[in-house]
Amino acid sequence: MVEHRVIDVNGIRLHIAEEGTGPLVVLLHGFPESWHSWRHQFGPLAAAGFRVVAPDQRGYGGSDHPEDVNAYSILHLVGDVVGLIHALGEERAFVVGHDWGAPVAWHTALLRPDVVRGVAGLSVPPPFRGERPPLRAMQERFGGRFYWNYFNLPGVADAEFALDTRASLRRLLFSASGDAPDAGGCEGALVDLERGWLADMTDPEVLPDWLTEEDLDELTESYAKGFTGALNWYRNLDRNWELTAAWHGAVVSPPALYMYGDRDLVPAFPGTPELIAGLPELMPNLRRDPIVLPGCGHWTQQERPNEVNEALVDFLTGLSD
């Protein structure tokens, strides 16, 4: 049974959900999500002999929402993960991330391989640092229409999403899922700057099978404090590029697993297909070729829980022997 508590970590308070005993597995959610995005993973991973912990990351849900935008850099986020592992009484853990949680997981393995027994990323591949700051690169390529740049307009996306939180989340989740008719193309990441990002997203009359009204209720409640904390992660993208200069060219050394859906828009981002194709050569401890889930959109572990659980259990148990 999943239990909840709040724990002091890295100068802030994090709400965590946990179940099971055994080697620690930390599950890191993305945007716009919460610990609840891992609801299908707790039981199977706990049954396989693992202690499963999923936090609301800083700026999300029941965890602290620092006001300073600079408090959301990748170094803060990695610090939260390392601090959480130690606060839970462990020296090392397996780290699994989806969407924004994947870069946090990859960077934890990159910056602190001594505390990472193995790392898995869903949707977003490992963080090989580019030659140019990402916000600047996307600004030049798409004229400010890429959603990362839109999210950097002060208060704009915050207000758009908060106007009707439940409807915003419903549109965002459906439109990036494998159920959306136009899923899988990078076009979905572009914003009409006059009308907002949600304007052209479908608001489904019926939720897809993988998302219930109760799930949407839970997620909506987690955004009671608004979207600013979550959006502040995007407002540090160029700063993260500056902060990680010392790791340019470095590779993730712990044992690794990567999986994504073939209808996910993220793997279609500029340069990402080439990166994914080269991962077996770039990643010294990638345990198998990237796993591609047919018909799956962006919400990997929610849309395809059985396949994700099978792959994670196989990967984690193989490293626990």
CA-nearest of 160, 162, 157 to 146 is 157
Q: Which two tokens stand for residue 250?
A: 């470095």
Phi-psi region of 174 (alpha: psi -120 to 50; beta: other; left: phi over 0): alpha
Active-site residue, 99 included? yes
Rounded CA-CA distance 317/48 in Å is 8
Distance, in Å, from the CA atom of 102 to the CA atom of 122, rounded to the nearest integer, reads 6
CB 49 within 8 A of CB 320: yes
Side-chain-side CA neighbours of 67 within 13 Å: the count stands at 0
Max CA distance (Å), the chain: 55
The DSSP secondary-structure symbol of 196 reads: B
Residue 158 φ/ψ region, left for φ over 0, alpha for ψ in the -120 to 50 degree band, beta for the rest: alpha
In this structure, which amino acid lies at residue 266? Answer: V
- Residue 49's Cβ-count burial label (10 Å; 0-12, 13-18, 19+) is middle
Catalytic residue among 29, 65, 107, 298: 298
Which is catalytic among the residues 64, 80, 99, 264? 99
Q: Residue 213 and residue 215: Cα distance in Å, rounded?
A: 5
Has 298 been annotated as catalytic?
Answer: yes
Helix, coil or strand: residue 1: coil
Active site residue ranges: 99, 298
